Amino acid sequence: MSDSTPLQSGRADNVAPTSQLSGILRRVSGFGDILQRSMGGGDHPLFIQIERIDGPVNAVISGRPTTLFGTNSYLGLNFDPRCIASAEEALRTWGTGSTASRLASGNQIGHANLEQAVADFYQRPDAIVFSTGFMANLGAICGLAGEGDLILYDAFCHASIIDACRTSGATFKPFRHNDAADLDRILGESTFPASRTLVVLEGLYSVWGDVGFVKDIATVAKRHGALVLVDEAHGLGLYGANGRGVTEAQGAEHLVDAIVGTFSKSVGVIGGYCVTVHPALKSLRFLARSYLYTASLPPAVVASARTAIGIIQSEPELREDLWRKAERFCRGASALGYSLRADPGPVGALHMKGLYQGFEFWRELLSRGIYVNLLVPPATPNGEVLLRFSVSAAHQDSDIDLFLSVLRDMAPKAAIA
Ligand SMILES: Cc1ncc(COP(=O)(O)O)c(C=O)c1O
């Protein structure tokens, strides 16, 4: 590609050799060198460009029509005509952006209506909307916990939770993934008052695709008197009778003090939110710096998110369709001998034997018109190499059958058959 960057093309002609650099530039440049070396020839998972998009699960990549099995569009709502119509209307009426933070001139009626819709959806008194899910975690966790407090988080938590812990000024420590007994032990030995302890976990962990043991962990936390925050970024729209997530599905909503989520996955746009039963939430608007010091969501995004939440609430059949397709795929992949890291669900991971094999496998899938995510250490637990897939309600059964037939052909290369 003529307009590719030096990193994408593997050329480094306008980049000074690392050996001539020192300090910060040497460290940063060294990282780029490692990326270049790891690229070899052909497509690279970090630099895939979608050249055209033809709907929630169809695209053109490297000149080839490709079926996407690596997006977070679980319900296909990013192309739902009702969401698009709301966005178009808001775009024409309210313009392209709010151009300011909520506390300056960026506080529009649409933002308040969206917050009300989120609060109603969760049957909680109030909700606060952030500009991304990352910022929602940052704002909620740093707003709730600070110096003199303790944050205990599941060891598999997302980077936004870890960064929030680091930024908060609180003491923070992981407990073993999904291990309520480990949390119990840490809380029992803690010198921090339980009332100054925040426990953070996720509803659905998106690397393996395993659900969080929300009820077990929240029960332990509550027994000690700690606060509980659950990130339902991936659970929203997928789990629970009303689509509120894993916390709802496990009947654990009464045990949870705050729920954080994102609009960037099943909702199909961008943005984040936090809901809680506590009136203290109102103070987050003044305590959460990621809410205070950044521009509010664009009106079209706000309008589309509100429409999507209404659809998630009123159309459980979309969720049922997603689960039917997810189970069809997971059952099929397991029957072919692939090792799934978790129970069947809309997101999951196929275990690969090694880094080289993972790369080659990912590239061959792409060359056959199937896009998935390749996850490699250090971004994975236990140094695993994983092919992360996601299923969408927007997939046709024929898409799933195509993916399975490619996996059947490739099974010998995965050394699993
Ligand atoms: C568990 C979890 N929390 C938060 C986020 C951040 O969400 P956003 O992309 O809206 O910033 C993600 C994104 O992948 C996530 O997986």
- Residue 153: left if φ>0, alpha if ψ -120 to 50, beta else—which one? beta
Q: For position 290, what pLDDT does the model report? A: 97
Examine domains 35-68+317-410 and 80-314 and report if their fold is the same. no
Do the beta carbons of residue 197 and residue 168 sit within 8 Å? no
Choose the weakest-confidence range: 100-104, 219-223, 277-281. 277-281
The pLDDT value recorded for residue 279 is 83
Position with higher pLDDT, 389 vs 278 = 389
Test site for ligand 1: of 129, 158, 266, most ligand atoms within 8 A of the Cβ: 158
pLDDT of residue 37: 65
Q: Pick the closest to residue 198 from 242, 143, 270, 158 (CA basis).
A: 143
Q: What is the mean pLDDT of residues 304-330?
A: 98
Residue to mutate (ligand 1; options 71, 74, 134; most atoms within 8 A of CB): 134
Quote the pTM value.
Answer: 0.93
The pLDDT tens digits of the residues spanning 271-284 come to 999 999 888 778 99
Q: Give the Å distance between the CA of 384 and the centre of ligand 1.
A: 21
Range 80-314 classified under CATH 3.40.1160.10: no
Q: How confident is the model at residue 2 (pLDDT cuts 50, 70, 90)?
A: very low
- CA gap 390, 2 in Å, rounded: 32
**Lowest mean pLDDT: which of 91-100, 238-247, 320-329, 373-382?**
373-382
**Cα–ligand 1 centroid distance for 11 (angstroms):** 33
Tokens representing residue 252 in the block? 């654990």
Which H or E element spans position 274?
Answer: strand 272-276
CA of 134 to the centre of ligand 1 (A): 6
Domain borders along the chain are 35-68+317-410, 80-314
Q: Tell me, what's the pLDDT at 4?
A: 42
| Whole-number pLDDT of residue 39 | 56
- In the predicted model, is pLDDT for residue 267 greater than 70? yes
Q: For position 3, what pLDDT does the model report?
A: 42
Tokens 């690969």, residue located:
352
Centre of ligand 1 from the C-alpha of residue 302, in Å: 18
What is the distance in A from the centroid of ligand 1 to the CA of 336? Answer: 31
CA of 262 to the centre of ligand 1 (A): 6
- Choose which residue among 204, 264, 297, 380 to substitute to test ligand 1 binding: the one with the highest number of ligand atoms within 8 A of its C-beta: 264
Distance (Å, whole) CA 103 – CA 280: 18
| pLDDT 10s digits, 340-386 | 989 999 999 998 888 888 989 999 999 999 999 999 888 888 889 99
Task: Give the residue whose CA is nearest to atom 10 of ligand 1.
Answer: 133
- Centroid of ligand 1 to alpha carbon of 144 (angstroms): 19
263 CA: nearest ligand 1 atom: 10
Report the pLDDT value the prediction gives residue 277, as an integer from 0 to 100.
Answer: 87
Other CB atoms within 10 Å distance of the CB of residue 94? 17
pLDDT at res. 35: 62
Average pLDDT, the chain: 92
Pocket of ligand 1 (CB under 6 A): 132-134, 137, 158, 160, 202, 206, 231, 233-234, 262, 264, 272
The answer to whether the CB of 338 falls within 8 A of the CB of 416 is yes
Is 21 a residue whose pLDDT tops 90? no
Homologous superfamily of the 35-68+317-410 domain (CATH): Aspartate Aminotransferase, domain 1 (3.90.1150.10)
Residue with tokens 């979608």: 50
Q: Is the pLDDT of residue 415 over 70?
A: no
